[in-house]
Amino acid sequence: MLLQRILTALVLAPLAILIILLPPTGIFAGIVALAFLAAGWEWAQLSGLHSRPWRVALLLVAAGVFALLWRSHATALTPLLLAAGAAWWLLACLWLRHFAFAAAPTRENRTLKLLAGAFVIFPTWVALVSIHARVPHGHWWTLLALVIVWASDIGAYFSGRTFGRRKLAPQISPGKTWAGAYGAMVAGVLVAEAGGWLLGVRGAALLMLALLTALTVAASIVGDLIESLMKRHAQVKDSGTLFPGHGGLLDRLDSVFAALPVFAAGLALLGLDQ
């Protein structure tokens, strides 16, 4: 399984890097929207929406929302959506604490989970587009944001396997440990500091970037746990089978969905990406 995960990552990582660095923001936004629609399809299925026609209709509505968000990007709506995204992940912490909430396959719970999906997907798209569009180094800051998440995932995996004893959330995701969380934090902050230095961040700003990264990694862990909770409610192992050894697209983006609104809001607030 580890070899399969590595081979899949070796294929996906260069493709993701090229998509971030090469196209202008308009094309990048469109590609990300398509990826998020695919993740939304999986989220809808985990939410209990098993009717294919209804899922198609939901994706058409979501595509329309992406178009409206593009028309209003770089306006006063952007910080509001970033704030809404960050606030949702704070609320998600309460859901993790009361993990049985909305577990029953009722219409009301399905509606709640679909609504939660909107707060998961749309603010993250806004976050990616807002970082990517910034000058002079928006493309590189976007890459750094994602590399932080990737590095924290890798740090969590190997730290958890090596040192993991105390479980982080055994009733939600038995494989995750506190050692893995600490490893994620260390790896994410180290990558952020190195990347920030290369992007010209110096002095006290590097300390602010480290603090922001710590919050970002913490959010990414919450995002991972929320998707694990959704899968546990749906009684499935993976959100899909798109990537060998990695599961579905949502399995690859769960940490990103939580991390990016926090990172983008922090960059804008602190002015680190200017």
The pLDDT, as a whole number, for residue 273 is 63
pLDDT computed for residue 72 by the predictor: 87
Whether the pLDDT of residue 169 is over 90: the answer is yes
- Torsion angle defined by CA atoms of residues 274, 266, 35 and 58, in that order, rounded to the nearest 10 degrees: -130
Mean of pLDDT values over 59-87: 92
- Provide the residue ranges of all domains of the chain, joining segments of one domain with +: 2-270
The pTM for the full model equals: 0.93
pLDDT at 23 over 60: yes
In the DSSP assignment, the letter for residue 235 is: T
Task: Please list the alpha-helical segments (H only) found in the chain.
Answer: 2-21, 25-47, 52-71, 77-97, 107-132, 138-163, 178-198, 204-234, 249-270
Pairing mode, strands 167-169 and 173-177:
antiparallel
